[in-house]
Copies of this chain bind each other. A is one copy, B any other.
Amino acid sequence: MGEEKGGEEKIMFKKILIANRGEIALRVMRACRELNILSVAVFSEADRSAPHTRYADEAYFIGPSPSTESYLRIDKILDVAKKSKAEAIHPGYGFLAENENFAKAVEGAGIMFIGPTSKAMALLGDKTAARQTMSKAGIPIIPGMEKPLRNEEEAKKIAEKIGFPILIKAAGGGGGKGMRMVENKSGLQSALKGAIAEASSAFGNPAVYIEKYLLHPRHVEIQVLADNFGKVVHLNERECSIQRRYQKMIEESPCCIMTEDLRRKMGESAKKVAKTAGYTNAGTVEFLVDKNKNFYFLEVNTRLQVEHPVTELVTGIDIVKEQIHIASGEKLRLKQEEVWLRGAAIECRISAEDPDNNFFPSTGRIEEIVDPTGPGIRVESGIFEGYEIPLFYDPLIAKVLAWGRDRQEAIVRMQRALSEYKIKGIKTTIPFHKRILSHRDFLGGNFDTGFLQKILDTPLPKEQNEEIAAMAAAIIALKEEESPIIKESKETMSNWKKVSRWMMLRR
């Protein structure tokens, strides 16, 4: 595969270390397996039997369960890379994926980092500096600060200057951590405190900054691929406005307010952002789009996104494989005009959180899984039957994707998939996704980043089958009373429930 150029033959990697866990580690290992590349896993104490440890060809223990002692330890991961003779490292998302020191250390060790250079990452990782750079290059940005906030006094001044509502954001990382919307002056102090605390704990960096909060904005991002020879293509947009606490929950492509003209403009802007930053490999340029279809550059996610499969479904491109090809020194294998956009795709992120209890993390043992299947459905999952969800990591356990010839078909398939998906033993966000997927405004494509609050404020639809539920429970109650065998089973049932509920850590 891959073109050869200038007499120098590019040789595909033989072994790649995946510095991550969960579904994304499996995703990358699957790409490796399809490319006939050996994969090296790293695992913490809690992850000795985790899927990624078992799926890999090699697996190395890197420390205790807390990520600060394992998945965030640059030194240990580099040690494993050297010991295993891995030629490249894929960071996945989260953990060290956007840590420029990690990228720099990998480069310094003579190992390929599957992502941008540490230099591009540093430039884009400083969100305020990045906005300045891009603004100078002619990319529209949202009014706001040019530097991290120094103190509360400054915050007040700036907020008054650009006008409420404002958004406080962490300078050191993305993903909604350390982010707070402030509606008026009175909420500023506590929001600032909360944002700084969260930013410190999530990124080890308390720096935050302020920007204008747009009303009814949609979060629309452009996926780009850039090779090491200055060539950039974009793979169309993803609509990611369905967010809770600035965490994306549902993503789709195409965006239903997109026009050919707007797509071309945003695509060109995204490519310009990548070129301006000297960006290479896969990246995502995030924009906000307001009611009048003006778009504003937000930031670049300098890594593979959680929601990358949405784009894979509508373009047929395996983004992880392209990342590997690019990192191995190949030229881009696609021209812009060869990028399709066929049909529509949606992703729902399934988390181990209880939507009926304020989205509290749910831990426990997975008792049974029935994956949704059939036409148009794809699952990316990091769990298995018998798996005990560890406390230490992100609660995302699986992603369900649906493809359809149009948005309507993708939606009905997703509804079906959510209905078929059974994960027993823990609470998940599946019921909440069902609510979103049946909401009139979601179906009509009529939403913005504030949509989720609307869902939470909408009363639950009336349940249909109360009589049937009553009869089923009465029948089970009778079975329990009558049959010693059933009674025993009931005991077991009730017991594993308890175990799953109160079990704190996996052994």
Contacts and interface: CB of A to CB of B under 8 A. Distances in A.
Given A316-B342, A342-B340, A405-B317, A371 B368 contact: no
A416 interface: yes
A88 to B, nearest CB: 19
A319 to B, nearest CB: 9
Interface in A353-378: 368, 370-371, 373-378
Given A34-B409, A340-B342, A409-B34, A384 B371 contact: no
B342 A374 contact: no
A381 interface: yes
Interface of A: 26-27, 30-31, 33-36, 309, 312, 316-318, 340, 342-343, 368, 370-371, 373-381, 384-385, 405, 409, 412-413, 416, 419
Shortest Cβ-Cβ A-B pairs, 9 listed? A373-B379, A34-B412, A30-B374, A371-B371, A33-B416, A316-B405, A316-B343, A318-B375, A34-B416
Contacts of A31: 375
Contacts of A370: 384
Contacts of A26: 374
A69 B263 CA distance: 59
A377 B371 CA distance: 13
A374 B384 contact: no
Contacts of A27: 374-375
B316 A375 contact: no
Given A371-B379, A375-B378, 6 more contacts: A27-B374, A309-B375, A318-B405, A368-B385, A376-B378, A378-B378
Nearest to A343: B316
A35 B379 CA distance: 22
B374 A378 contact: yes
A373 B378 contact: yes
Q: Residue among A312, A368, A370, A376 with the most chain B CB within 10 A?
A: A376
19 contacts: A27-B375, A30-B374, A30-B416, A33-B416, A33-B419, A34-B409, A34-B412, A34-B413, A36-B412, A309-B375, A312-B375, A316-B342, A342-B342, A368-B385, A371-B371, A371-B373, A374-B378, A374-B379, A376-B378
Nearest to A333: B405
Contacts of A33: 412, 416, 419
A437 to B, nearest CB: 13
A344 to B, nearest CB: 11
A2 to B, nearest CB: 13
A378 B380 contact: no
A371 to B, nearest CB: 5
Contacts of A340: 342
Contacts of A373: 371, 378-381
A413 B27 CA distance: 12
A438 to B, nearest CB: 12
Nearest to A417: B30
Contacts of A35: 412
Nearest to A386: B368
A412 B368 CA distance: 29
Nearest to A411: B34
Given A340-B342, A342-B340, A30 B375 contact: yes
Contacts of A309: 375
A439 B319 CA distance: 28
Q: Residue among A34, A36, A312, A376 with the most chain B CB within 10 A?
A: A34
A309 B377 CA distance: 13
Contact of A378 (B36, B377, B405, B412): B377
Contacts of A34: 409, 412-413, 416
Nearest to A36: B412
A381 to B, nearest CB: 6
A415 to B, nearest CB: 8
Contacts of A380: 373-374
Contacts of A317: 405
Nearest to A320: B375
Contacts of A318: 375-376, 405, 409
A140 to B, nearest CB: 34
A377 to B, nearest CB: 7
Nearest to A319: B375
A318 B416 CA distance: 15
A385 B366 CA distance: 15
A193 to B, nearest CB: 42
A376 B309 CA distance: 10
A414 to B, nearest CB: 10
A417 to B, nearest CB: 10
Contacts of A384: 370
Contacts of A316: 342-343, 405
Contacts of A379: 371, 373-374
